[in-house]
Structure formats: structure tokens, C-alpha cells
Amino acid sequence: MTAPVSTAMVLAAGFGKRLRPITDTVPKPLVPVGGRTMLDRTLDAAETAGIARAVVNVHYLGEQIIAHCASRQTPATSISDERDAILETGGGVVKALPLLGDTPFALLNADTFWVDGGRSTLAAMIDAFDPARMDMLLLTARLDDTTGHSGGVDFTLDAGSRIARAPDPAGAGVIYAGAAIIDPAVFTGARAEPHSLNRYFDAAIAAGRLFGHALEDGHWYTVGTPDGLTEVEAHLAAGRV
């Protein structure tokens, strides 16, 4: 049976250093891309998928993100405040667990986004998540379906969509596209201290419980630099999904 997913966590605490000087005064999630902030694009995806509540973590220029979230009515938003000390991706999730609850939740990056070509990709991920087999279900994308990505691949997928680390970033494979459905039980015993989500990805790989969900009908975007922002905006303006 599909696990209920009604809550999302949005990772919005980073510094966005490569996007300077734009991010000297504006946190990266609030940088407009194609006329809409990346944070709003992420929260829009959650809302479209039927997610009622979002937890957004903040650190760098966090006051701006807190004020922006207060201006939205849906999804209902809570703040996980890391302004005293940034906790990285893993520690940020662990700190927010009391707000997320004990059922599977969506995890979304606030500085990447995708445009669906048809049905909501996030809704399809929620339907596909099977807690009996999966600890985490990651959104994956082929390099041909991305704009702004300057690196190589992250993972390979077997015939059953089970994930392994790619042996060669320049070889065949897929990228992690900044969205996941996660069983919070994977964080049992973890501490809210700085560490990466990669710790949990690797544990799930070792257990055979990390799976991928392909972005099949859409296009994924990341904005790492000012030149990358120009590239992404040009792609969006051309309407090429």
C-alpha cells in the first residue's frame, strides 16, 4: 500500500556562493528564475502534488526566507531555524524531524527545480513509493533532460530501478534531481549536527533499499552561477520542456 505523504521538507539554508554577486543580498532560493523564485517553484510543485504542509529550513539571510514563506497560504509552512549554525543536508533534516512527523515525507531542494511536461512528477513519486521495499525514492534525470548542470552523473539504475553509485561520473548514468520520498525511520539515532544526506543514501544502497524514479516527461534545472542563470532563463523562455 502506498504510504501517505502529506508533508514536505524544503532545503533552503545554503549560501549560494557560486551565484555571487546576486546572492550577496538575496538568498539563492529567492532568486527569480523565469519570473518566479526557485523557492516558489519548489513549493508550487509540493502544492500541485497535494502536499498540505511544508517545513523550510533557513540559515543564510534566513529572515528574508521566513518573510517570504509567510506570504504564502499553501502549502502551510513551518520554519526549521538553523540561523545559529548551519547543519548541512543531513543534519538539517534530522533537526526538522519533530516537525515532519513519523510518516514518509517529501524532501525537496529549494535551489533546483523541474518543469513537468504532463502529470505532476512529485505526485507520481508519492504513488510509486513502497515502504515495504524502499527506504528512499530519489528523483533521477538523464543529462539530456537537464539545463545548468555542469557535473557528471551520480548513480546507475538496475532493471528494477534500484540505485547504485556511478563508478565513473563521466560515464553512463543519471543525476540526483533534488527530490525524494523518505521514510523518517532511516534517521533513527542520528544527531542534529552537520553532515550530508549521502550517509543515508549509502546506507540505503548497502541495504538494497534506495530506488530511483525517472523524470520522464519534463525538464530539470539548476542555477549554479550567473551564467547558468542566463542559460536556464533562455531555456525557459523558449518553452522547451
Note whether residue 59 is domain-resident. yes
Using a cut of 0.95, tell me whether the model's pTM lies above it: no
Note whether residue 1 is domain-resident. no
d(CA 193, CA 56): 17
Residues facing 140 on adjacent strands: 176, 214
Q: At 184, which CATH number?
A: 3.90.550.10
**Count: domains in the chain:** 1
Render the burial of 187-212: b for 16+ CB within 10 Å, e for the rest: beebebeebebeebbeebbeeebbbb
The list of the chain residues with pLDDT below 50 reads: 1-3, 241
Note whether residue 153 is domain-resident. yes
Note whether residue 70 is domain-resident. yes
Note whether residue 208 is domain-resident. yes
Report the first-to-last Cα separation within the chain, whole angstroms: 32
d(CA 130, CA 90): 22
d(CA 140, CA 157): 9
The pLDDT of residue 172: 87
The pLDDT of residue 1: 41
The pLDDT of residue 238: 86
Note whether residue 197 is domain-resident. yes
Give the range of the structural domain holding residue 143, as residue numbers without chain letter.
7-238
The pLDDT of residue 139: 97
Note whether residue 2 is domain-resident. no
